[in-house]
Amino acid sequence: MENSNAQIFKVKNAGIVLTTPFLPMFFYRLGYLADSRREFIDKEKQIRGIFLLQYLATYSLEIKDSELMLFKIMLNYPLSDPLPCNIELTSKETSLIDELLNSLKINWSKMKNVSNRGFQETFLRREGVLEDMSDYWNLKMEEKPYDVLLDSVPWSYSMVKYPFQEKLIRVNWRN
């Protein structure tokens, strides 16, 4: 069924969906999630989480609010609420980002010898189109020749749904 009122967003860094199974523990280790792991402690932690996803994908905090729709949806942050222009990351946050990138590469054997920046540039900094399908979000990824390596990812990233997220995101990448 066609949704004529669908919201459609072009997103950068859509490859962040590859981090799907790692993010809840990442945010929990930072102390951003309540003990139930079903919600963020407060709005400030949600905002920090959005900036951390950007940093995870790019090692940069230079962002435009319009480029963060996917991160807002993933962390259940209101789409119309503005974000601060920037924040300062703590050494714990940047250290855990590096740990997370290394864990991703170790667990995906074909990536173990790739630098963090190389991994970000090859997979995490990927454009996509995000469309609201009423019951879920559909994310269509830009395809590149080296996407054949995605067949060796040992975890699922085709659906993104966290306890703290309102609607499922269906990812179309190499389908």
Q: What is the pLDDT of residue 66?
A: 72
In a domain, 2, yes or no: no
In a domain, 1, yes or no: no
Mean pLDDT, the chain cut into blocks of 10 residues (175 residues total): 72 95 96 91 96 95 82 95 91 97 96 95 96 96 94 95 94 87
CA angle 115, 23, 110 (to 5 degrees): 35
Q: What is the pTM of this model?
A: 0.93
Q: What is the pLDDT of residue 1?
A: 46
In a domain, 128, yes or no: yes
In a domain, 148, yes or no: yes
Q: What is the pLDDT of residue 2?
A: 52
Q: What is the pLDDT of residue 24?
A: 95
Structural domain including 162 reads: 8-172
In a domain, 23, yes or no: yes
In a domain, 3, yes or no: no
Number of domains the chain contains: 1
In a domain, 48, yes or no: yes
